[in-house]
Amino acid sequence: AILSFFVIFGMFALNRIASELENPFGTDKNDLPLAHFQNEMNDSLMMLLHPTTDQVPCTSRRCITDFEVLMQSRAVRTTKR
């Protein structure tokens, strides 16, 4: 009887956790902070309207872009440790 209780209790607990994870939107303590997420998105979109946001970043001339060379330099750095 005790084993059955623990098994059934575990299943009910798992079901409760699954129902909380299934609906992360709401006003519970463990729900997602949607207002905060929306404010962060609005701030990011507002930054795109700034006049200097259209400057494209570039890399320096000494930047290594070849994959094989990068992997070799990584292998050399890991063997030195």
d(CA 15, CA 17): 5
Containing 57, the helix (H) or strand (E) segment is: none
Question: Residue 20 CB: number of other CB atoms within 10 A?
Answer: 13
Q: What is the mean pLDDT of residues 63-72?
A: 85
Higher pLDDT, 50 or 60: 60
Threshold 0.85, pTM exceeds: no
Q: What is the mean pLDDT of residues 17-39?
A: 84
Residue type, 19: S
